[in-house]
Amino acid sequence: MTTKRILVVDNEAKMRRILELSLKAMGHEVAQAADGQEALGMIDAGAFDLVLTDLRMPRLDGIGLLTALRDADNDVPVIVMTAYGTIETAVAAMKVGAADYIIRPFEMETIEMAVTRALTMQVVQRENRFLKEEVSRGWGDFIGTSAPMQALYDLLRQAAPARSSIFIVGETGTGKELVARAVHVASGRRGLFVPINCAAIPAELLESELFGHVKGAFTGAVRDRIGKCELASGGTLFLDEITEMPAPLQAKLLRVLQEGVIEKVGGNAATPVDLRVVAATNRDPQQSVDAGVLRRDLYFRLNVVRVDVPLLRDRRGDIPLLVDYFVHKYALELSRPAPTLSPEALAVLEAYPWPGNVRELENLVERAMVLCRGDTITVDHLPAELAPSRTVAVSVPPSPTSPPVDTDDLALRPHIDELERRLIVQALEKAGQNKSAAARLLEISERALWYKIKRHGLS
Ligand SMILES: Nc1ncnc2c1ncn2[C@@H]1O[C@H](COP(=O)(O)OP(=O)(O)OP(=O)(O)O)[C@@H](O)[C@H]1O
Ligand SMILES: [Mg+2]
């Protein structure tokens, strides 16, 4: 965890000192206040990431401090400390918005855990708020404010409420499934959104998937089964990769759409269905028709409203918004603060042709977030093939030039210890003696680093 600013509020100087020391050992900056009144004077908006306060103090007590903060719309997390036997007060503090409470006497470990948890929760809440904010980043679940996306939103708003079939065309990763779901949501149809991927299901099973089967219809049909069409009745059936559907089945599907009834495989009763169909393909549908892969009559039936999903390279202006959105999405998933993107890295992303469209961008941001341990995503966190001209900077840790190993002494332990000590010294130097940064460089926890520093007598 990066360095945070923590305010310790307690009327006992000794207690403040102990807390300060242990929080500093965790790598945080610590300030002290002797009571609620003094604390209030120090807390401007954003001045501290966390407040750790005693409950019983002269002038302004912990509850008073907490109430004053919340009244001032300051949502800094507050952990209250209370003596055993006054647990009711702690509960009262939780009710007015404390993040957590700790009962005295406590082990330092308890404080450390509570602090870490409160800080993590704060990141999570902040990211959640970001993702939910109704700023103009797009429409529904879509991100993008470019002209091609605006045109898409307009078309969807118009076409969704009607029952007409919609045919979505777009390269892989452009968001075809997102479009299909948006159509369903905006249609106001009360039934389910039921996707079926015609490419993912073996041809011989597809018919029973779509229409269901009766018991004994074929080997393995041990009981009646309801199909996707029936499931989607009253809702929306999404036929993904429609060109992969075998031609005979395309004919049957067309009949279902025309007549509004299905027949289960092996059965002879007709069940009425109320379907709204949305189909999608990443191929050119006219070519598929000409090649005899997609039946012309089915195509006409499905292609009432055609929706072309813009390619990412045709709406590069949306790339910063998308990156920002995915960075926050993965920050939330990883419970960490959202890193920013260096201008060079953004320039690389804006120049790339994006054959895999938004999905490729999303995967790339996720990968960069895993590689980036600091607070800035740089070109080094992007795959080398994105910027072919760039000389690939391989970051090899400076090899600690060891003295020649005394070959008479091959005991592993002391040599490893020595190497560990040197790497720690180097990491601390590189991190300007900041322990949390050094721990990140060493890829160990701050706690582990703390123990190792003590063990090697480095503090
Ligand atoms: N405009 C957008 N805003 C936010 N996320 C998007 C957008 N477009 C696509 N995505 C995301 O990109 C990923 C791929 O989208 P989706 O699965 O809808 O693509 P697709 O066109 O169906 O791809 P394929 O042809 O490979 O099936 C999903 O995680 C989706 O949420
Ligand atoms: Mg898809």
| 41 C-alpha to ligand 2 centroid (Å) | 55
Q: Whose CA is nearest to atom 23 of ligand 1?
A: 173
Contacts of 196 (CB under 8 A, 6+ apart): 209, 210, 228, 237, 238, 239, 240
Contacts of 283 (CB under 8 A, 6+ apart): 243
Q: For residues 184 and 278, give the distance between their C-alpha atoms in angstroms, rounded to a whole number.
A: 9
**Three-class SS state of 331:** helix
Say which residue, 142 or 128, is predicted with more confidence. 142
| 43 C-alpha to ligand 2 centroid (Å) | 50
Residues 252 and 206 sit within 8 Å (Cβ to Cβ): no
Q: For residues 17 and 39, give the distance between their C-alpha atoms in angstroms, rounded to a whole number.
A: 16
Q: Is 324 in the pocket of ligand 1 (CB under 6 A)?
A: no
Among 134-143, 179-188, 361-370, the least confident range: 134-143
Q: Is 381 in the pocket of ligand 1 (CB under 6 A)?
A: no
Say which residue, 390 or 223, is predicted with more confidence. 223
| 301 C-alpha to ligand 2 centroid (Å) | 21
Nearest to 183 by CA among 155, 209, 210, 205: 155
**pLDDT on residue 334:** 84
**Tell me: the pLDDT tens digits for 389-420?**
544 444 444 444 444 444 556 666 677 778 88
**pLDDT on residue 409:** 62
**pLDDT on residue 392:** 42
**pLDDT on residue 132:** 67
Q: For residues 260 and 342, give the distance between their C-alpha atoms in angstroms, rounded to a whole number.
A: 55
**pLDDT on residue 393:** 42
| 256 C-alpha to ligand 2 centroid (Å) | 24
Q: Is 170 in the pocket of ligand 1 (CB under 6 A)?
A: yes
Among 359, 361, 362, name the best residue to mutate to test ligand 1's pocket (greatest count of ligand atoms within 8 A of Cβ).
Answer: 359
| 176 C-alpha to ligand 2 centroid (Å) | 6
Q: Whose CA is nearest to atom 28 of ligand 1?
A: 359
Ligand approaching nearest to the C-alpha of 179: 1
Above pLDDT 70, what percent of the chain? 92
Q: Whose CA is nearest to atom 15 of ligand 1?
A: 175
Q: For residues 324 and 330, give the distance between their C-alpha atoms in angstroms, rounded to a whole number.
A: 10
**Helices 357-371 and 343-351 sit at what angle, rounded to 10 degrees?**
150
Q: Letter for the amino acid at 427?
A: A
105 preceded by a cis bond (ω within 30 of 0): yes
Token pair belonging to 142 = 């879509």
Contacts of 82 (CB under 8 A, 6+ apart): 54, 55, 56, 62, 89, 90, 93, 101, 102, 103, 104
First to last CA, the chain: 20
Residue 444: band (very low, low, confident or very high) from pLDDT cuts 50, 70, 90:
confident
Q: Please, how many CA atoms are within 13 Å of residue 356, restricted to the half-sphere of its CB?
A: 8
**pLDDT on residue 403:** 46
Ligand 1 atom at minimal distance to the Cα of residue 143: 3
Q: For residues 100 and 91, give the distance between their C-alpha atoms in angstroms, rounded to a whole number.
A: 9
| 216 C-alpha to ligand 2 centroid (Å) | 33
| 347 C-alpha to ligand 2 centroid (Å) | 28
User: Which DSSP symbol is given to 314?
Assistant: G
Ligand approaching nearest to the C-alpha of 309: 1
Ligand approaching nearest to the C-alpha of 176: 1
Q: For residues 235 and 450, give the distance between their C-alpha atoms in angstroms, rounded to a whole number.
A: 58
Q: For residues 76 and 119, give the distance between their C-alpha atoms in angstroms, rounded to a whole number.
A: 10
Among 62-71, 354-363, 419-428, the least confident range: 419-428
Burial of 399 (0-12, 13-18, 19+ CB in 10 A): exposed
Q: Is 178 in the pocket of ligand 1 (CB under 6 A)?
A: yes
Secondary element (H or E) of residue 147: helix 147-159
Q: Is 363 in the pocket of ligand 1 (CB under 6 A)?
A: no
| 311 C-alpha to ligand 2 centroid (Å) | 14
Residue 17: band (very low, low, confident or very high) from pLDDT cuts 50, 70, 90:
very high
**pLDDT on residue 122:** 78
Q: Is 435 in the pocket of ligand 1 (CB under 6 A)?
A: no
Token pair belonging to 7 = 């305010």
SS3 percent helix, strand, coil of the chain, rounded to 5, is 50, 15, 40
**Tell me: the pLDDT tens digits for 288-334?**
999 999 999 999 999 999 999 999 999 999 999 999 999 999 998 88
**pLDDT on residue 410:** 64
Q: Is 144's pLDDT higher than 60?
A: yes
| 356 C-alpha to ligand 1 centroid (Å) | 10
Q: Is 174 in the pocket of ligand 1 (CB under 6 A)?
A: yes
**Domains by residue range for the chain, with CATH:** 5-132 (3.40.50.2300), 147-310 (3.40.50.300), 313-386 (1.10.8.60), 396-459 (1.10.10.60)
**Tell me: the pLDDT tens digits for 227-260?**
999 999 999 999 999 999 999 999 999 999 999 9
**pLDDT on residue 405:** 47
Say which residue, 70 or 396, is predicted with more confidence. 70
